Structure 1
Amino acid sequence: MGLQPTLDFLVKLEKNNNREWFAENKTEFQRIEGISRSYFNEVGEELKKQDSIENIQVYRIYRDVRFSKDKSPYKKYLGAWYSRTKPFFRGSYYLHLEPGNSFVEGGFWNPEAPDLKRIRKEFELDDSEIRDIMQAPDFVKYFNGIGGEELKSAPKDFDKSHKAIDLIRKKQFLVVRRFTDKEVLGKNFKKEVLATFTAMRPFFDYMSDVLTTNLNGESVIE
């Protein structure tokens, strides 16, 4: 069946994002939810064959509108999060299905303060390894560098003229690959999702090594 019914339903939901319409189409949504959940879990099971995955979380369609100006009750997308097994394996994968805006993303969304400082200190000490990873053929093929929120200038106690300041000032470390609807509906989409996850792995493994050692390379895992 593929993902066509999922995208079709999400198109209709975006045009009718209200509880009345959703209630009238609840049976259809439950069918779509089942298709999508199965797909997300299939991706997760394949991912487990190549990496250590601790948890698969399929997000619910319902929005938390308590603190949002947008009171639309439902998300216009479906997504799943795949977390690597801590403490040795860091980083998480994400698959997002949305008409006209589907993508695969991965990385480190909001590192805790000690982890963020440790990453920045590593870049300050030596950014050659992360640069090599960013310049690797598969990384360049799938991703447009490392993105995410960043400071406008250097963080406290770091030199704003440091050669790695473009990395040091980041608050998040994310890689993204976007897909057209045609690609999502193609027979190779799942294969491409997994290939994209694989291309993230050297980045994840490098960051995992950084976050489980001190600046002398000694393990900090008890």
Structure 2
Amino acid sequence: MPAKSTPYFTPALFKFLRDLARHNDREWFTANKARYEAELKAPALRFIAALDAPLKQTVSPHFVASAKPVGGSLFRIYRDTRFSGDKSPYKTHVGMTFFHEATRSVARVEGGGNAAPGRLDAPLFYLHLQPGECFIGGGVWHGQPDTVKRIRNYMVNNPASWKKATRGGAFAKSFSLDGDSLSRPPQGYDPRHELIEDLKRKDFVCTATLSEEQVCAPDFQKTVLKHFAGAAPMIDWLCGALDLDF
């Protein structure tokens, strides 16, 4: 009988995150640093390392799962509180981004975007693990003005391909479009355009919810790859809008 696969993540991850949410201070975190390393950081880096090859083989050769402890796919647990009224020092979720090779790092993703300042944003895949709020996402989030304009112009010129990428197939079964939108049509675009609600978007992202049970299952890698493949038509379309390979 073949050996059972070992899950990357266990319920201990979510127990740690729930405890952290109740005790979000440096004293508690320091006392529980070993739990953070064993239950969150180490399994997340193992998961990322194991995902890189199948991601390239089954979804796109141009996306990267980087297991580097710093500057790779795993977001830091430490919050940037400089401009926030919430001074809690730690994030209470796990964030992982699988970025286009044109991006190279998550430097600006950490700050709320998809690229380094002055560089073109690139679409990405995202995995979010949080008690009661796990999801897979993808797209361009908080894009720079030039990026958003290019996407909108591409949508105006290619409405049928946008609808095909986001309205049918595996995408529609699992994903919904998400993110912020303008309250009014963007300047310079026909308010009667058939895709005006999508043209009003400031974020071009999609999300699909996951359960904690799915995250802790031995086949979680397959679940993630299946969802990435489901989101691929939209990510491919966004790459086309930004002249990037998919």
Q: TM-score, normalization: structure 2?
A: 0.79
Aligned-partner Cα distance in 2 for 1:96–1:40: 13
Aligned to 2:23, which of 16, 28, 48?
A: 16
- The aligned residue for residue 120 of structure 1 is 152
Farther-moved stretch of structure 1 (35-44 vs 99-108): 35-44
1:65 lines up with 2:65 in the alignment: no
Q: Name the CA shift for 1:98/1:116 in 2 (closer, same or farther; >3 Å).
A: same
Aligned to 1:86, which of 99, 102, 121?
A: 102
Ranges in structure 2 where 5+ consecutive residues have no aligned partner = 1-5, 67-72, 104-120
Ranges in structure 1 where 5+ consecutive residues have no aligned partner = 214-222
Q: How large is the RMSD of aligned CA atoms in angstroms? A: 2.0
- The aligned residue for residue 173 of structure 1 is 204
Q: Name the CA shift for 1:54/1:180 in 2 (closer, same or farther; >3 Å).
A: closer
Using the TM superposition, give the Cα deviation of residue 91 of structure 1 relative to its aligned residue in structure 2, in angstroms. Answer: 1.3
Using the TM superposition, give the Cα deviation of residue 90 of structure 1 relative to its aligned residue in structure 2, in angstroms. Answer: 4.2
Using the TM superposition, give the Cα deviation of residue 61 of structure 1 relative to its aligned residue in structure 2, in angstroms. Answer: 0.8
1:104 lines up with 2:133 in the alignment: no
Look up the SS of the partner of 1:49 in the other structure.
helix
Aligned to 1:27, which of 19, 27, 34?
A: 34
Listed one character per residue, the Cα deviations across residues 70-102 of structure 1 (whole Å, up to 9, x for unaligned) are: 111111011111111238x94101111111111
- The aligned residue for residue 49 of structure 2 is 41
1:155 lines up with 2:186 in the alignment: yes
Q: Which has the larger radius of gyration?
A: 1
Q: Name the CA shift for 1:54/1:38 in 2 (closer, same or farther; >3 Å).
A: closer
Aligned to 1:184, which of 192, 215, 218?
A: 215
Asked if 2 retains the 8 angstrom alpha-carbon contact of 1:55 and 1:84, the reply is no
Aligned to 1:76, which of 79, 92, 95?
A: 92
Listed one character per residue, the Cα deviations across residues 45-79 of structure 1 (whole Å, up to 9, x for unaligned) are: 32122321246321111111121111111110111
Aligned-partner Cα distance in 2 for 1:186–1:153: 43
- Number of aligned positions between the proteins: 211
Displaced runs of 4+ in structure 1, greater than 4 A?
A: none
Listed one character per residue, the Cα deviations across residues 110-132 of structure 1 (whole Å, up to 9, x for unaligned) are: 22222221221222233111111
Look up the SS of the partner of 2:178 in the other structure.
coil
| Paired-residue identity, % | 29
Q: TM-score, normalization: structure 1?
A: 0.87
- The aligned residue for residue 110 of structure 2 is none
Asked if 2 retains the 8 angstrom alpha-carbon contact of 1:122 and 1:210, the reply is yes
Listed one character per residue, the Cα deviations across residues 156-176 of structure 1 (whole Å, up to 9, x for unaligned) are: 111212111011111110010
Aligned-partner Cα distance in 2 for 1:95–1:126: 29
Aligned-partner Cα distance in 2 for 1:100–1:16: 18
Q: Name the CA shift for 1:45/1:60 in 2 (closer, same or farther; >3 Å).
A: farther
Farther-moved stretch of structure 1 (173-182 vs 23-32): 23-32
Farther-moved stretch of structure 1 (41-50 vs 72-81): 41-50
Farther-moved stretch of structure 1 (203-212 vs 175-184): 203-212
Using the TM superposition, give the Cα deviation of residue 177 of structure 1 relative to its aligned residue in structure 2, in angstroms. Answer: 0.7
